[in-house]
Structure 1
Amino acid sequence: MPHRPVSLRAPKGSVAASEIAAAIDALLADAAADGAPSVEFPAEVLAAAEAAAGAWREGADAHEDATDVPFVTLDPATSTDLDQAMHLERTEDGYRVRYAIADVPLFVALDSVLDAEARRRGETVYLPDRRIPLHPTAISEGAASLLPDQAAPAFVWDLRLDRSGTVTGTSLGRAVVRSREKLAYDAVQDGIDAGDGHPMMLLLQEIGALRTRKEAERGGASLNIPEQDVEADGDRVRLTWRSILPIEDANAQISLMTGMAAADLMIRGGAGILRTMPPAPEENVERFRRQAAALGVPWSEDLDYGAFLRTLDWHDPRHLALLNQAASLFRGAAYAAFAHADELPEDAEQAALGAPYAHATAPLRRLVDRFVLLTCLHHARGEEVPPALAAALPLIPEIMQATGSVAGSLERRALDLVERTALAGLVGETFEGTIIDRRGGEKKDDEKHEGGKRDHGTSPVRVEVQLLDPPVTAWVETDGELGEALRIRLEAVDVAGAGARFVPVGADGATAGAADEGPAS
């Protein structure tokens, strides 16, 4: 069971929510000048969303009535844009998983004003105190959301599994569903830990464990690193570490299983959009193996790197350093569209999963899922993909790459603002952290001039230090070994944007050297 988050205690290390809101207002105003989307939607888009939300039943005449199926949702407690609902049951041969996904295409027609705005945005952007939604809330938090006790249209995946967790049958259709309960991760996990778990969540845990085992057998891999999070604490905001709960992992396995079923359907149908990732280059794997040896963490030759990563626990400083270094093994994720079978990418797998995969379970929050779901539905019905949809497929990867870059930049900049503001009250304090990366020390390129070459020496050595409380990382100009403990003092913070300046200190508290600027992150 993961530890609960280590967090900054209010008021020390926390900041007024109004202060953060003002800083993010300024950030968004600056970003808007560069073309980033805003929280507000144009009037014509809002009007179209209201009209679609009020008229969806007119387009759902052919949807099956599945309101008698007791679906439940599982999300963070505060979520209202609910993409997925599930109903799980044990069968004579294994399990049946019905996974309902919000029917966003029923609200957002191809080439409509809503479609154009969604393509401009690409995905929902999550900031510390707000979000910039992909769709107007009349759709994303209203009529299309799978809220409890609300009839809503959905794509329903019906997946049959044998007792080992292998998928033996898949079907896909459209239905009107009605969720019975809105379950929250923390409460569900608390119930399971207390021996009083929700019956369907106990079954989810069982199926999730089987699917995790299947992932290991495929050579799949994942990183168990805690997430930096921002929590509201009354009228203040604080940074926390948040570990992924076991029930979240189990829930993710249902989504991954559905994404793999979608990929299989599109590959067999000869059109679609896959989420791909190349295998880690062998030199990266070997470098990581050497790092593990240097840290004294044995990596048996009979374990692939996915199996090895599952043995690492971030609470151990050496393991934490290794997990951060393992990020180099998870690069190159992209979308690959194909409108004909002969356009299928040569390497169609998502290497971290060890199988072909597609994003198909979050259409309220991610543009590509809407196109994947529509494409899968036509394949499931044995129909040709309509020309308008086929023409759109090749355009989506580039849109997702561009909008994803904007979203990632906004999210990082906003989190840096919270970091700097929270750290401003801690100047002068000393912290202990773990070295998770080391850079520099390489000889700089010599420069030619009339008298020959001028030696520019070596680049300065810097180490990245992971702090637990406060939950930030910092680059410090000093040297050390990965996994080694290091004490650093916060010398200064420039909230306006330059970052924070840390210096290493000795056991007696004296400054041990200079520091680079930068939190971190």
Structure 2
Amino acid sequence: MELHQRIVSAPVDFGAVRTEFGLASGYPSEAVSEARDAVDAFAGDRVDRREIPLVTIDPPGAMDLDQALYVARTPTGFLLYYAIADVAAVVVPGGPLDRESLARGQTLYLPDGLIPLHPQVLSEDRASLLPDRDRPAALWTIECDELAEPVRYSVTRALVRSRARLDYAGVQADADANRLHPALAALPEFGRLRIEAGLRRGAINLRLPAQSVVRDGPEQTGINHWQLVVEPRTAVDDWNEQVSLLTGMCAARIMLDAHNSGASGKTIAASAAETSAADTAATPAPVETTAANGNPEYPGLLRTMPPAPAGAVDSMRRTAAALGVDWPARESAGRMLAGLDPNTPAALVLMSEATSLLRGASYTVLNGQAPDSVQHSAIGAPYAHVTAPLRRLADRYATEICLSHHAGIEVPQWVRDGLKAAAEAMRRSDAISAKLERACIDLTESTILVPRVGTDFDATVLREANHTRPAEIFIPTPPVLAKCLGSPPEGKQVRVRLAESDPATRTVTFVYQAEATPPG
């Protein structure tokens, strides 16, 4: 089943969605002025690392460039440099920009534009890691062994200079043609090893079709037409994601080691190296909780996810058996899913059901109390957001904590005072972001499908109906995830009929056409 499909477009106005969610139409002028006049508060303390040939990888046209990387093979493994925009250096604590970013939490994306966390003069210019410009950064240095497991890592304030702005499709084409930029020559091997390391930890990566709403035709034409697509995910997406995940895991380890021991920066680095080296032996045991009484002088901010609910994996195993998918008793859910062809009905069903394993993501503040868990179950390790501070508030706080720990200095008071509010802002904005994305997709689906009411479609049944909810289906052309009336059989390819499509309520209704379903 081919999942990347272009469909007929339709005019869609997202203004009603903006109004419904009360999205800000502009940035306060005093905050914009602060962003325009921003200066690097740590200009005199930075190490000059402009010699590192860093590059960025982002979607085409992106200007808010948070990360720049360089990864190379060494005689003992790999060396990774990962530069992250140093937003804390250009935002005045307690100032207009700080207050407004706290109210927003994160950048919100709509098909026709974005609601930025920071004024675009900052996020797309002054603080963005644009090519051929000197920029302040938090520079992570991560040394890895032959299995791409971290042995030593550190983070420090540095002055960096990106060499090129690359995009995923371009880097994938270069990888396929064996002509990668020198800064990325080791990325394919590194990324594959890190993916395997994740499977050893029990990480789960879902590859469900990800719907996107994209403009149909150039924006300059003034035609406000939109289409639904399922964007192809490249291997480069996966490799680049592993760089960010590794950095977030190192950040979490720094914060946990400090919080649990009250260690100095030097001791933290040593304990991190010892912990990482130990983790390379077989499958590392998960860290479930901090010490009974953490040190409140060493706060932290983790991205956490609780273990899967009791019985969820057993339910998945029953589904796999019913679908004829071989799942050895000792194999993790993540490894089983990784071995499936994502374009098959069985894979779609199992990945859809696996979402039940990955619920309850939140932000956990380390403040002297022992949390219920510090683990992120989808990653299989403690984890912290530190790689997207231009777009996500939590990263500014977590990065500043890591910088302080590594330097052996006290965590700034503004971080301690604002940590709880920052975590709450992230929880609130995460919920808004998810609802906003769904609303835009639902509006586009229902608008595009209006003229096709009464039409039959081929669909894969992701979940059968039960007493509390209707069945859920995936239609590849156009790419639609929807509820379906009737009792279509789970894991089967069936025919469904579009009974209703209502843009006013952003709903579509399909009905199972049992008599029209092809055999098998």
TM-score (norm 2): 0.87
Looking at structure 1, the residues matched to 406 and 340 of structure 2 have their Cα atoms a distance apart, in angstroms, of 40
Q: SS of the residue aligned with 2:441?
A: helix
Tell whether the 8 Å contact from 2:72 to 2:185 is kept in structure 1 after alignment. Answer: no
Structure 1 pair 399–291 and aligned structure 2 pair: CA distance change class (3 A) = same
* Residue matched to 1:101: 84
Per-residue deviation, residues 174-201 of structure 1 (Å, max 9, x unmatched): 1111100011101111222234333433
Q: SS of the residue aligned with 1:349?
A: coil
Tell whether the 8 Å contact from 1:338 to 1:393 is kept in structure 2 after alignment. Answer: no
Tell whether the 8 Å contact from 1:85 to 1:100 is kept in structure 2 after alignment. Answer: yes
Looking at structure 1, the residues matched to 411 and 5 of structure 2 have their Cα atoms a distance apart, in angstroms, of 50
* Residue matched to 2:287: none
Per-residue deviation, residues 194-251 of structure 1 (Å, max 9, x unmatched): 3433343341111111111111111222112221112223143211112321111000
* Residue matched to 1:28: 18
Aligned-pair distance for 1:498?
Answer: 4.8
Structure 1 pair 437–508 and aligned structure 2 pair: CA distance change class (3 A) = closer
* Residue matched to 1:74: 57
Q: Does 1:157 align with 2:155?
A: no
| One-letter amino acid of the structure 2 residue matched with residue 144 of structure 1 | A
Which of 229, 237, 246 is 1:257 aligned to? 246
* Residue matched to 1:516: none
Structure 1 pair 426–194 and aligned structure 2 pair: CA distance change class (3 A) = farther
* Residue matched to 1:298: 326
Tell whether the 8 Å contact from 1:321 to 1:482 is kept in structure 2 after alignment. Answer: yes
Looking at structure 2, the residues matched to 426 and 358 of structure 1 have their Cα atoms a distance apart, in angstroms, of 45
Which of 33, 46, 53 is 1:63 aligned to? 46
Looking at structure 2, the residues matched to 498 and 183 of structure 1 have their Cα atoms a distance apart, in angstroms, of 36
Q: Does 1:173 align with 2:171?
A: no
Looking at structure 1, the residues matched to 73 and 511 of structure 2 have their Cα atoms a distance apart, in angstroms, of 58
Structure 1 pair 508–253 and aligned structure 2 pair: CA distance change class (3 A) = closer
Matches within 5 A, 1:467-478: 467-478=475-486
* Residue matched to 2:288: none
* Residue matched to 1:91: 74
Tell whether the 8 Å contact from 1:230 to 1:240 is kept in structure 2 after alignment. Answer: yes
| One-letter amino acid of the structure 2 residue matched with residue 397 of structure 1 | A
Q: SS of the residue aligned with 2:509?
A: strand
| One-letter amino acid of the structure 2 residue matched with residue 29 of structure 1 | T
Looking at structure 2, the residues matched to 389 and 306 of structure 1 have their Cα atoms a distance apart, in angstroms, of 36
* Residue matched to 1:14: 9
Which of 221, 224, 241 is 2:207 aligned to? 224
| One-letter amino acid of the structure 2 residue matched with residue 8 of structure 1 | R
Tell whether the 8 Å contact from 2:2 to 2:476 is kept in structure 1 after alignment. Answer: no
How many equivalent pairs are there?
Answer: 473
Q: Does 1:429 align with 2:455?
A: yes
* Residue matched to 2:170: 187
Per-residue deviation, residues 327-361 of structure 1 (Å, max 9, x unmatched): 00111111110133xx2424211111111110010
Aligned-pair distance for 1:39?
Answer: 3.9
Which of 46, 60, 78 is 2:32 aligned to? 46
Tell whether the 8 Å contact from 2:487 to 2:512 is kept in structure 1 after alignment. Answer: no
* Residue matched to 1:519: none
* Residue matched to 2:472: 464
Looking at structure 1, the residues matched to 506 and 179 of structure 2 have their Cα atoms a distance apart, in angstroms, of 50
Over the matched positions of the two proteins, sequence identity in percent amounts to: 38
Structure 1 pair 506–264 and aligned structure 2 pair: CA distance change class (3 A) = closer
* Residue matched to 2:397: 371
Looking at structure 2, the residues matched to 121 and 483 of structure 1 have their Cα atoms a distance apart, in angstroms, of 41
Looking at structure 2, the residues matched to 280 and 264 of structure 1 have their Cα atoms a distance apart, in angstroms, of 22
Q: SS of the residue aligned with 1:356?
A: coil
* Residue matched to 1:336: 364
Per-residue deviation, residues 124-168 of structure 1 (Å, max 9, x unmatched): 111112111100001110110001111111000000011111111
Structure 1 pair 39–133 and aligned structure 2 pair: CA distance change class (3 A) = farther
Q: SS of the residue aligned with 2:311?
A: helix
Matches within 5 A, 1:305-344: 305-340=333-368, 343-344=369-370
Looking at structure 2, the residues matched to 432 and 308 of structure 1 have their Cα atoms a distance apart, in angstroms, of 27
| One-letter amino acid of the structure 2 residue matched with residue 7 of structure 1 | Q
Structure 1 pair 78–507 and aligned structure 2 pair: CA distance change class (3 A) = farther
| One-letter amino acid of the structure 1 residue matched with residue 350 of structure 2 | L
Structure 1 pair 439–506 and aligned structure 2 pair: CA distance change class (3 A) = closer
* Residue matched to 1:122: 105
Per-residue deviation, residues 258-311 of structure 1 (Å, max 9, x unmatched): 001100111112121011111112311111111111111121102011211111
Looking at structure 2, the residues matched to 224 and 31 of structure 1 have their Cα atoms a distance apart, in angstroms, of 29
Per-residue deviation, residues 466-516 of structure 1 (Å, max 9, x unmatched): 10011012212111221111211223321112522322335559xxxxxxx
Q: Does 1:503 align with 2:511?
A: yes
* Residue matched to 2:300: 272
Tell whether the 8 Å contact from 1:225 to 1:243 is kept in structure 2 after alignment. Answer: no
| One-letter amino acid of the structure 2 residue matched with residue 190 of structure 1 | A
Tell whether the 8 Å contact from 1:267 to 1:344 is kept in structure 2 after alignment. Answer: no
Tell whether the 8 Å contact from 1:127 to 1:415 is kept in structure 2 after alignment. Answer: no
Q: SS of the residue aligned with 1:488?
A: strand
| One-letter amino acid of the structure 1 residue matched with residue 239 of structure 2 | A
Aligned-pair distance for 1:440?
Answer: 2.8
Tell whether the 8 Å contact from 2:201 to 2:379 is kept in structure 1 after alignment. Answer: yes
Looking at structure 2, the residues matched to 211 and 332 of structure 1 have their Cα atoms a distance apart, in angstroms, of 25
Q: SS of the residue aligned with 2:327?
A: coil
Tell whether the 8 Å contact from 2:337 to 2:347 is kept in structure 1 after alignment. Answer: no
Q: SS of the residue aligned with 1:293?
A: helix
Tell whether the 8 Å contact from 2:211 to 2:441 is kept in structure 1 after alignment. Answer: no
Looking at structure 2, the residues matched to 508 and 405 of structure 1 have their Cα atoms a distance apart, in angstroms, of 39
| Runs of 4+, deviation exceeding 6 Å | none
Q: Does 1:358 align with 2:384?
A: yes
Tell whether the 8 Å contact from 2:446 to 2:503 is kept in structure 1 after alignment. Answer: yes
| One-letter amino acid of the structure 1 residue matched with residue 377 of structure 2 | A
Tell whether the 8 Å contact from 2:497 to 2:513 is kept in structure 1 after alignment. Answer: yes
Structure 1 pair 359–298 and aligned structure 2 pair: CA distance change class (3 A) = same
Structure 1 residues 281-290 or 178-187, which shifts more?
Answer: 281-290
Tell whether the 8 Å contact from 1:124 to 1:365 is kept in structure 2 after alignment. Answer: yes
| One-letter amino acid of the structure 1 residue matched with residue 30 of structure 2 | E
Structure 1 residues 226-235 or 500-509, which shifts more?
Answer: 500-509
| One-letter amino acid of the structure 1 residue matched with residue 502 of structure 2 | D
| One-letter amino acid of the structure 2 residue matched with residue 376 of structure 1 | C
| One-letter amino acid of the structure 1 residue matched with residue 439 of structure 2 | R
Per-residue deviation, residues 72-116 of structure 1 (Å, max 9, x unmatched): 001111211100001112222211100000010011122111111
Tell whether the 8 Å contact from 1:338 to 1:344 is kept in structure 2 after alignment. Answer: yes
Aligned-pair distance for 1:5?
Answer: 5.2
| One-letter amino acid of the structure 1 residue matched with residue 434 of structure 2 | G
Tell whether the 8 Å contact from 2:465 to 2:487 is kept in structure 1 after alignment. Answer: no
Residue segments in structure 2 that go unaligned for 5+ positions in a row: 218-222, 260-298
Structure 1 pair 501–347 and aligned structure 2 pair: CA distance change class (3 A) = closer
Looking at structure 1, the residues matched to 25 and 48 of structure 2 have their Cα atoms a distance apart, in angstroms, of 35
